[in-house]
Amino acid sequence: MPRIAYLNGQYVPHGDAMVHIEDRGYQFSDGVYEVTLALGGRLLDEDRHLARLGRSLAALDIAPPLGEPALKVAMRKLVALNRLPDALLYQQVTRGVAPRGHAFPKRPVRPALVMTVRRFDPAAVAARQTQGAAVVTVPDLRWRRCDIKSVSLLGNVLAKQAASAAGAQEAWMVDTVGVTEGASTTAWIVTQGGEVVSRQLSQSLLPGVTRAVIADALAPLGVRFVERPFTVAEAQAAAEAFFTSTTSFVMPVTSIDGQTVADGRPGPVTRAIQAAHWAHVRAATGRPQSPR
Ligand code: PLP
């Protein structure tokens, strides 16, 4: 069965889904995106993802391509058509097609909506969660509106490539204050005093959906959440470190720039947060997998 993509209202074979060469997403990165999981056919944290999509669109003055109810129907239909109960759903909205010119087109253009799905294996994530991940640090080269989930990802691409070249799984980007976030994840540490720290939201980082889910889960765990910057040195000396995202869930960090974090194994606070996140996933989607 061929993969099916959604392209401006049509459901088409993936290989036939083409966009115009003057799509402003292609020429200017003038667009935004979301990545949402479908597990057991149910969309995880859908309303949080759609709220962030709405914020990203509003920040760039791009009209929503569909009303929210119609968008939700299209998302479900695409997942069902691909017969993938566990799927990663990619959504991208660009300002649309117009003759090339930096400023917004004078004539109204229809925003372009593209959605694709691909297989997602929660059991593979659970297995990786027991291993943890190596992180390298790189300068944060990105623009100053990293709170917008823009398709302009060159800084993130270069950061992830640096991780890949170093044999690491993630790159943490560092500005003049400290770690901002991972190339495609939110960065966290656990202090020697047991506090969980992640940088406060600002225009320097993406408001992660998983970050918000974890923030809600910490108080019931009896763990204090402190939103403040931290440096690479503090992270290397921390009791634990981890990163979070829609696709990596809660991933322990075992080393930072080659320096082992604590004993190099997933720590107790990280494992408790993993378990709380899996409980959230199970409650929202009915998926049975859990890391242990
Ligand atoms: N930070 C960046 C730069 C990202 O690209 C992502 C996810 O793609 C995240 C953080 C984590 O966000 P979420 O938890 O919503 O997946």
Residues 166 and 215 in one domain: yes
Q: CATH number, domain at 248?
A: 3.20.10.10
Residues 159 and 251 in one domain: yes
Residues 58 and 33 in one domain: yes
Domain extent, residue 133, equals 125-285
Q: Whose CA is nearest to atom 8 of ligand 1?
A: 184
Our count of domains for the chain comes to: 2
Q: Whose CA is nearest to atom 2 of ligand 1?
A: 184
Rounded to whole angstroms, how far apart are CA atoms 76 and 268? 37
Q: Residue 78 has what pLDDT?
A: 98
Domain boundary among 120, 152, 175: 120
Q: Compute, in angstroms, the gap from residue 116 CA to the centroid of ligand 1.
A: 18
Q: Whose CA is nearest to atom 10 of ligand 1?
A: 185
Indicate the range of 1-10, 57-66, 94-103, 247-256 predicted with least confidence.
1-10
3-class secondary-structure state, position 230: coil
Domain boundary among 120, 143, 161: 120
Residues 14 and 142 in one domain: no
Query: What are the φ and ψ backbone dihedral angles of 214, each rounded to 5 degrees?
Result: -65, -40
Query: Which tokens belong to 216?
Result: 């809600």
pLDDT digits (tens, 9 = 90+) for 141-152: 999 999 999 999
Rounded to whole angstroms, how far apart are CA atoms 170 and 248? 11
3-class secondary-structure state, position 41: coil
Q: Which atom of ligand 1 lies nearest, measured to the CA of 181? A: 1
Task: Report yes or no on 290 lying in a domain.
Answer: no
Domain boundary among 65, 99, 120: 120
Is residue 106 part of the annotated active site? The answer reads no
Q: CATH number, domain at 115?
A: 3.30.470.10
Cα maximum dimension of the chain: 60
Q: Tell me the β-bridge partners of 4.
A: 13
Residue from 203, 246, 249, 251 whose mutation best tests the ligand 1 pocket (most atoms within 8 A of CB): 246
Average pLDDT, whole number, for the chain?
A: 97
Q: Tell me the β-bridge partners of 114.
A: 7, 92
In which region does residue 135 sit, left (phi positive, over 0), alpha (psi from -120 to 50) or beta (all else)? beta
